[in-house]
């Protein structure tokens, strides 16, 4: 199967993947996919998604091939379509990241092999959402009923769009906080509300004392029409250690990373800050995802 949007999974599917990732993370299971190959095709910058997919493939006993757009035949004018159709012959599963919304779906529609969306523009990033749900479940032992605050550029962040859907699926209570003008797209939110009866509040200022999980993302400057506007918002948007003085003892702070300057560096050493461990969970989680898509 392809994994293009978090909508491709229902709650049972997600739970199966999280359970499998738990078993892998705890050393109770190791998928054996010897002889299979993963391809990473990243048309947009990446550190965690690409490397953790490659690491996951190696841990599953697989090999991987990596297309580097800058030194590939794309430079000679080859199309995205021809590139995808070619790489299909070199791998059993393809991970595609691209700045244009819909590109992973386009790739999936062109080939038989499974395609995993590693992020398409401001649209979807399903495997990041699985990491986020996995992290929340490991730290909090549940997802349902938790008060989860999503803070940042909710207009352009694919991580936030995918995550709000995943949280709604599990019955979390979600608070959305963004700088003015960077609110989540109302139509998408309405879709999630109608489908799951999501309990959501929209605020201009976060209430840090209320949250069980604080999930932050950066201002997605590369998706702004006006770079000066992005810079202006970035200068004002920062969470300081002092802001968290009334936060719950067991607050969990997550972030898909990269962080730029939206989290004061001193927060990194607080016990509530879990984002580097969250990034590390990318390996067992993506091991489970690779196994899942290859088995369906
Ligand atoms: C995110 C992405 O690419 O959407 N990074 C990631 O995959 N961990 C977040 C971001 O770029 O802000």
- Residues annotated as part of the active site: 48-49, 76, 97, 125
Domain assignment of residue 239, yes or no: yes
Tell me: do 211 and 264 sit in the same domain. yes
Q: What is the pLDDT of residues 48-107, one digit of tens each?
A: 999 999 999 999 999 999 999 999 999 999 999 999 999 999 999 999 999 999 999 999
Q: What is the pLDDT of residues 239-269, one digit of tens each?
A: 999 999 999 999 999 999 999 999 999 999 9
Instruction: Provide the pLDDT for residue 246.
Output: 95
Share of the chain above pLDDT 90, in %: 98
Q: Where are the alpha helices (DSSP H) in the chain?
A: 11-25, 48-59, 80-87, 103-110, 126-140, 158-170, 186-196, 227-236, 275-280, 282-294
Q: Is the pLDDT score of 121 beyond 90?
A: yes
**DSSP state at residue 185:** P
CA distance 57 to 35: 11
97 and 41 in contact (C-beta within 8 Å)? yes
Query: Is the minimum distance from the CB of 218 to ligand 1 under 6 angstroms?
Result: yes
Distance 111 CA to ligand 1 centre (A): 26
Instruction: Provide the pLDDT for residue 57.
Output: 98
Q: Which residue has the tokens 């819909």?
A: 102
The DSSP bridge pattern shows strands 147-151 and 199-203 to be unpaired
Instruction: Provide the pLDDT for residue 25.
Output: 98
User: Structural domain tally of the chain?
Assistant: 2
Tell me: do 200 and 118 sit in the same domain. no
Query: Is the minimum distance from the CB of 257 to ligand 1 under 6 angstroms?
Result: yes
Tell me: do 275 and 145 sit in the same domain. yes
156 and 224 in contact (C-beta within 8 Å)? yes
Tell me: do 93 and 113 sit in the same domain. yes
Domain assignment of residue 15, yes or no: yes
Domain assignment of residue 186, yes or no: yes
Tell me: do 141 and 266 sit in the same domain. yes
Residue of 130, 159, 160, 263 with the most ligand 1 atoms within 8 Å of its CB, for mutation? 159
| Distance of alpha carbon 91 from the chain centroid | 23
Domain assignment of residue 93, yes or no: yes
Q: What is the pLDDT of residues 52-66, one digit of tens each?
A: 999 999 999 999 999
Distance 236 CA to ligand 1 centre (A): 21
pLDDT bracket for residue 204 (50, 70, 90): confident
The residue-averaged pLDDT of 106-134 equals 98
Instruction: Detail the DSSP E strand segments found in the chain.
Output: 37-42, 63-67, 93-98, 115-120, 147-151, 173-177, 199-203, 213-216, 252-254
Domain assignment of residue 1, yes or no: no
Residue 254 pairs with which residues in a beta bridge? 215
Domain assignment of residue 120, yes or no: yes
Distance 184 CA to ligand 1 centre (A): 16
Burial bucket for residue 110 (CB in 10 Å: 0-12, 13-18, 19+): middle
CA distance 142 to 101: 32
> CATH no. for residue 64?
3.40.50.1370
CA distance 194 to 196: 6
The whole-chain average pLDDT of the chain stands at 97
Tell me: do 134 and 273 sit in the same domain. yes
Domain assignment of residue 113, yes or no: yes
CA distance 219 to 234: 6
Q: Which residues contact 25 (CB under 8 A, 6 or more apart)?
A: 138, 281, 284
Atom of ligand 1 nearest to the CA of 97: 3
Instruction: Provide the pLDDT for residue 202.
Output: 95
Query: Is the minimum distance from the CB of 48 to ligand 1 under 6 angstroms?
Result: yes
Tell me: do 161 and 285 sit in the same domain. no
CA distance 21 to 37: 20
Tell me: do 90 and 23 sit in the same domain. yes
130 and 8 in contact (C-beta within 8 Å)? no
Residue 112 domain boundaries = 6-124+281-295
pLDDT bracket for residue 27 (50, 70, 90): very high
Tell me: do 134 and 100 sit in the same domain. no
Tell me: do 179 and 213 sit in the same domain. yes
Tell me: do 163 and 257 sit in the same domain. yes
Distance 56 CA to ligand 1 centre (A): 18
Tell me: do 142 and 257 sit in the same domain. yes
**Reported pTM:** 0.97
* Nearest C-alpha neighbor of 118 from the set 99, 92, 132: 99
Residue of 219, 224, 256 with the most ligand 1 atoms within 8 Å of its CB, for mutation? 256
Domain assignment of residue 65, yes or no: yes
């Amino acid at each position: 199967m392809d994994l293009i949007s978090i909508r491709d999974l229902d709650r049972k599917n997600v739970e199966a993947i999280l359970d499998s990732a738990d078993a892998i993370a705890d050393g109770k299971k190791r998928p054996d996919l010897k002889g299979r190959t993963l391809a990473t095709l990243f048309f947009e910058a990446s550190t965690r998604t690409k490397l953790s997919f490659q690491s996951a493939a190696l841990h599953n006993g697989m090999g991987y091939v990596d297309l580097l757009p800058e030194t590939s035949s794309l430079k000679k004018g080859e199309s995205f379509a021809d590139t995808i159709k070619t790489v299909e012959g070199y791998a059993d599963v393809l991970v595609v990241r691209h700045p244009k919304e819909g590109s992973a779906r386009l790739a999936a529609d062109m080939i038989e092999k499974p395609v995993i969306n590693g992020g398409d523009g401001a649209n979807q990033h399903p495997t990041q959402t699985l990491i986020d749900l996995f992290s929340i479940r490991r730290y909090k032992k549940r997802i349902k009923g938790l008060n989860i605050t999503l803070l940042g550029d909710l207009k352009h962040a694919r991580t936030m769009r995918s995550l709000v859907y995943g949280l709604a699926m599990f019955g979390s209570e979600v608070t959305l906080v963004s700088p003015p003008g960077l609110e989540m797209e109302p139509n998408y939110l309405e879709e999630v509300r109608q489908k799951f009866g999501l309990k959501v509040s929209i605020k201009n200022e976060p209430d840090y004392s209320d949250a069980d999980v604080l999930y932050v993302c950066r201002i997605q400057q590369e998706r702004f029409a006006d770079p000066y506007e992005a810079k202006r918002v970035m200068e004002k948007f920062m969470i300081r250690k002092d802001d968290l003085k009334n936060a719950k003892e067991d607050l969990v702070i997550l972030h898909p990373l990269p962080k730029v300057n939206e989290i004061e560096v001193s927060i990194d050493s607080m016990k509530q800050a879990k984002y580097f461990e969250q990034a590390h969970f990318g390996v067992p989680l993506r091991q489970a995802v690779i196994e899942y898509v290859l088995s369906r």
